[in-house]
A and B are shown apart, each in its own frame.
Chain A
């Protein structure tokens, strides 16, 4: 399971970084989403990978999984979801007003921005 989770994080990150380096906004946004998925899985794994254990205190249970990373991941998911919505809106606005969805140059002057 460790191998599976680790390689998932690695593949997601690699794909995310590749897409973020593209020129058009759409692949960049998809890349950002992949990066945030990778981060979420990584964060989840920082409490160690434990199967079938409750995170909440219980009289009959002696072994627990770490609840804190789960709370952190929840926060991170909410934030990255909101951020993705914001970047989609801004990118859409930029595309509609400039008729250009390249993100690497400044349309007005043509110089690197």
Chain B
């Protein structure tokens, strides 16, 4: 048995309590351990990706209990890719949070961050439906703490909404699992697949209820319309580096849909035929459209980033709900792209918000405006899906995969029109934030207004406002994410090869089932 599979869950699970109990009064040590732990996670997950990329499905039996009785962790191509994505994103976000000092603004940031990672990585690795619930709760309870990190009334109020929404989601999840257990008598995903396939086609109402409840739960997590209401307020009110990490949380929902509805309730299964795809496709189209309209209508840059996340989830789920191997490959490619793009947009939103406030309105030029403007320009191009970055490749792949679908005209129309609206929204926000402040007349008028500045020290030069030293780490982090997007574009060929292989593995669940139920 390969014990490295459990390392991504155990390492943060050990590091987080250690941080709380031993290091809590030493911020520097917390930072060092947190970064070192996340670096180790990146290395371990990359090694696991290397092992999984040959197509072998590895199973880790907890406590050496054989599969349908004990809990299993399963490492296949999809899980390996998602854990690498999570740990790389976490490392970048952590560096950013340290660079900007966000981790000093409340207590226990690093411990919560590690618990969050534990939940995320566990949710991607587990092969047991109830264990998936437990890891969902772990990542949620850590996210409640991270979301209200730094405090403030507005953040706490948004936090209450977020927690309540997710508690209802958890209750639904338990009801769904209870229904599935009542019908099949198992909660191991591979075993569920076998037993659901063996059910009689005459009495299917209960299992169909379970399948739809489960879809609803994952749709809440993925913020699919009309269950997306928690997302904009939460992400816009959360500390924005945390929101950048949350970019992977919506993908947990998308991942779970892709996993459960190819493995357990597969597209060829007669008793739940069309249940997921028929409902998910219109919802995904509406999600994308609303996300893009939201981009245009946002009055704050953080909300803009949140709606961009919603629209990218919409695009992703359009691909998922086609349920063909080609579309799944496109979805997998788009998952990587949209996670990085959403995260970088939140980090840029934080850079802007820290310098001039989050409202998209005219104001004086901010420090490092040129560099941040360039970042925003690149990130917006990637997010909207304009050439040449990976968003373009991703959307093209999704649209190409939709060609075989009977709803192709709907899909193309929504994707293209929504992207145009998003383009207008991003262009409007970017020009108000970065371009207009440099308008010469406006600049002069504002200078005249703010000239008798009482705070300015009498001896200092009038040209230069008092400039704090600018830490370079945040810019390195943002550049790293943008570099990741560029790499995803340049290496689109190899990435698609991997995505195709992953999709092929997903649509041949017999291999997964065999690996789990036979044991390692």
* A-B contact number at CB 8 A: 105
The complex places the Cα of A98 from the Cα of B161 at a distance, in Å, of: 15
Residue of B nearest to A71 (CB): B130
Which one of B134, B157, B161, B182 has the highest number of Cβ atoms from chain A below 10 Å of its Cβ? B157
Does B277 make an interface contact (CB < 8 A)?
no
Q: Are A20 and B157 in contact (CB under 8 A)?
A: no
Given A76-B174, A82-B141, A90-B144, A107:B157 Cβ within 8 A: yes
Q: Are A42 and B178 in contact (CB under 8 A)?
A: yes
Does B386 make an interface contact (CB < 8 A)?
no
Interface pick from B26-34, B164-172, B259-267, B426-434: B164-172
Residue of B nearest to A72 (CB): B130
Does B406 make an interface contact (CB < 8 A)?
no
Residue of A nearest to B180 (CB): A46
Does A94 make an interface contact (CB < 8 A)?
yes
Q: Are A83 and B137 in contact (CB under 8 A)?
A: yes
Does B12 make an interface contact (CB < 8 A)?
no
Which one of B130, B154, B167, B170 has the highest number of Cβ atoms from chain A below 10 Å of its Cβ? B167
The complex places the Cα of A93 from the Cα of B145 at a distance, in Å, of: 13
Selected from B160, B167, B177, B187, the residue in CB contact (under 8 A) with A103 is: B160
On chain B, the residues within 8 Å of A113 by CB distance are: 157-158, 161, 232-233, 237
Q: Are B233 and A90 in contact (CB under 8 A)?
A: no
Q: Are A103 and B174 in contact (CB under 8 A)?
A: no
Given A97-B151, A97-B153, A46:B179 Cβ within 8 A: yes
A84-113 interface with B by 8 A CB criterion: 86-87, 90-91, 93-94, 97-98, 100, 103, 106-108, 113
On chain A, the residues within 8 Å of B167 by CB distance are: 32, 35-36, 80, 83, 87
B residues neighboring A (CB under 8 Å): 130, 134, 137, 141, 144, 148, 151-154, 156-161, 163-164, 167-168, 170-171, 174-175, 177-179, 181-182, 187, 232-233, 237
The complex places the Cα of A18 from the Cα of B170 at a distance, in Å, of: 17
The complex places the Cα of A98 from the Cα of B156 at a distance, in Å, of: 9
Q: Are A90 and B159 in contact (CB under 8 A)?
A: yes
Q: Are A98 and B153 in contact (CB under 8 A)?
A: yes
The complex places the Cα of A103 from the Cα of B182 at a distance, in Å, of: 36
The complex places the Cα of A98 from the Cα of B152 at a distance, in Å, of: 9
Contacts A45-B178, A69-B178 known; 10 new A-B pairs at CB < 8 A: A20-B164, A35-B167, A42-B175, A46-B179, A68-B187, A76-B174, A83-B167, A90-B159, A98-B156, A113-B157
Q: Are B233 and A106 in contact (CB under 8 A)?
A: yes
Residue of A nearest to B134 (CB): A75
Given A20-B168, A79-B170, A98-B153, A86:B141 Cβ within 8 A: yes
The complex places the Cα of A91 from the Cα of B142 at a distance, in Å, of: 17
Q: Are B168 and A106 in contact (CB under 8 A)?
A: no
Selected from A72, A82, A94, the residue in CB contact (under 8 A) with B156 is: A94
Given A32-B168, A69-B181, A87-B167, A94:B174 Cβ within 8 A: no
On chain B, the residues within 8 Å of A72 by CB distance are: 130, 177-178, 181
The complex places the Cα of A91 from the Cα of B148 at a distance, in Å, of: 11
Given A43-B178, A46-B179, A97-B153, A103:B170 Cβ within 8 A: no
Q: Are A107 and B168 in contact (CB under 8 A)?
A: no
Min distance, Cβ A24 to any Cβ of chain B, angstroms:
11
Residue of A nearest to B163 (CB): A87
Selected from A36, A87, A108, the residue in CB contact (under 8 A) with B160 is: A87
Q: Are A108 and B154 in contact (CB under 8 A)?
A: yes
CB-defined interface of A29-43 with B at 8 Å, one 1/0 digit per residue? 000100110110011
Residue of A nearest to B148 (CB): A90
26 A–B contacts, CB within 8 A, in A order: A25-B160, A46-B182, A68-B181, A72-B178, A72-B181, A83-B141, A83-B167, A87-B163, A90-B144, A90-B156, A90-B159, A90-B160, A94-B156, A94-B160, A97-B151, A97-B152, A103-B157, A106-B154, A106-B157, A107-B153, A107-B154, A108-B153, A108-B154, A113-B157, A113-B233, A113-B237
Q: Are A106 and B141 in contact (CB under 8 A)?
A: no
Min distance, Cβ B148 to any Cβ of chain A, angstroms:
6
Q: Are A106 and B137 in contact (CB under 8 A)?
A: no
Min distance, Cβ B175 to any Cβ of chain A, angstroms:
6
Residue of B nearest to A107 (CB): B157
Does A28 make an interface contact (CB < 8 A)?
yes
On chain B, the residues within 8 Å of A93 by CB distance are: 148, 151, 156
The complex places the Cα of A25 from the Cα of B187 at a distance, in Å, of: 34
Residue of B nearest to A68 (CB): B181
The complex places the Cα of A47 from the Cα of B175 at a distance, in Å, of: 13
Residue of B nearest to A82 (CB): B141
The complex places the Cα of A21 from the Cα of B157 at a distance, in Å, of: 16
Q: Are A39 and B160 in contact (CB under 8 A)?
A: no
On chain A, the residues within 8 Å of B160 by CB distance are: 25, 87, 90-91, 94, 103
Min distance, Cβ B65 to any Cβ of chain A, angstroms:
13
On chain A, the residues within 8 Å of B157 by CB distance are: 94, 98, 100, 103, 106-107, 113
Residue of A nearest to B183 (CB): A46
Q: Are B159 and A79 in contact (CB under 8 A)?
A: no
Selected from B161, B164, B182, the residue in CB contact (under 8 A) with A32 is: B164
The complex places the Cα of A20 from the Cα of B169 at a distance, in Å, of: 12
Given A39-B171, A75-B134, A83-B137, A94:B181 Cβ within 8 A: no
Selected from B130, B148, B171, B237, the residue in CB contact (under 8 A) with A35 is: B171
